[in-house]
Amino acid sequence: MPPDEARPGTLRTLIDFAQPLGTGGRLRLGFGEPSRVLVARTADEVRPVLDAVEALAREGRWCVGYLRYEAAAAFDRAFAVHAADGPLAWFGVHDEALPWPEATDNDAPASLDWQLGLSRADFDSRMQAIHRAISNGELYQLNYTATLHADFHGEPLALFMALRQAQPDGYAAFIDAGEEQLLSVSPELFFDWQGERILTRPMKGTAPRGATPAEDEALAQRLRTVPKERAENVMIVDLIRNDLSRVAKPFSVRVPRLFHTEALPTVWQMTSDVEALVREGTTLADAFAALFPCGSITGAPKVSAMRMIRELEPEARGVYCGAVGVVQPGGHAIFNVPIRTVALRGAQARCGIGSGITADARADAEWEEWRHKRAFLDRAGRASGPPFDLLETLALVDGELRDAPAHLARMAIAAAHFERPWNQASVASCLDDLKARHATGMWRVRLLLDAQGTPRAEAFAMEAPPARVLLQLATRPFGEAHSEFTRFKTTRRAHYEALAPTESGAFDTLLWNRDGEITECTRGNIALLLDGRWVTPPLRCGLLGGIGRANRLRSGQLAEAVVRVDDLPRVQALAFVNSLRGWIDADFAPFQK
Among 54, 204, 302, 369, the active-site one is 204
Residue 8's pLDDT is 36
Among 188, 229, 369, 520, the active-site one is 188
Which has more confidence, 122 or 169?
122
390-461 carries CATH number 3.90.190.20 = no
Hey, what amino acid is at 395? Answer: A
CATH of domain 468-592: 3.20.10.10
Where are the domains positioned within the chain? 3-384, 390-461, 468-592
In which band, very low, low, confident or very high, does the pLDDT at 133 lie, cut at 50, 70 and 90? Answer: very high
Which has more confidence, 211 or 144?
144
Would residue 393 be called left, alpha or beta, if left means φ above 0 and alpha means ψ between -120 and 50 degrees? beta
Q: How close are the terminal C-alpha atoms of the chain, in Å?
A: 59
3-384 carries CATH number 3.60.120.10 = yes
Residue 590's pLDDT is 62
Distance (Å, rounded) from C-alpha 394 to C-alpha 407?
8
Prediction pTM value: 0.76
Contacts of 148 (CB under 8 A, 6+ apart): 114, 115, 116, 117, 350, 351, 352, 353, 374, 377
Query: Angle at Cα 290 formed by Cα 287 and Cα 292, nearest 5°?
Result: 90
**249: annotated active-site residue:** no
Segments of 278-426 assigned E as strands: 299-300, 323-327, 333-336, 341-345, 348-357, 390-397, 400-401
Of 200, 195, 168, the closest CA to residue 271 belongs to: 200
Is the confidence at residue 303, as pLDDT, over 90?
Answer: yes
Going 490 to 491 to 496 to 501, the CA torsion angle's sign is positive
**45: annotated active-site residue:** no
Residue 2's pLDDT is 31
pLDDT in tens, 375-430: 888 778 765 567 899 999 999 999 999 999 999 999 999 998 888 999 999 999 99
Residue 14 β-bridge partners: 30, 174
Residue 526's pLDDT is 98
Is the confidence at residue 161, as pLDDT, over 80?
Answer: yes
Residue 109's pLDDT is 60
For residue 569, whether the previous peptide bond is cis, meaning omega lies within 30 degrees of 0, is no
pLDDT in tens, 235-273: 889 999 999 999 999 999 999 999 888 888 778 888 999
Is the confidence at residue 591, as pLDDT, over 60?
Answer: no
The mean-pLDDT minimum among 141-145, 210-214, 431-435, 580-584 falls in 210-214
Distance (Å, rounded) from C-alpha 188 to C-alpha 337?
6
Distance (Å, rounded) from C-alpha 266 to C-alpha 170?
14
pLDDT in tens, 326-385: 999 999 999 999 999 999 998 999 999 999 999 988 998 899 888 888 888 877 876 556
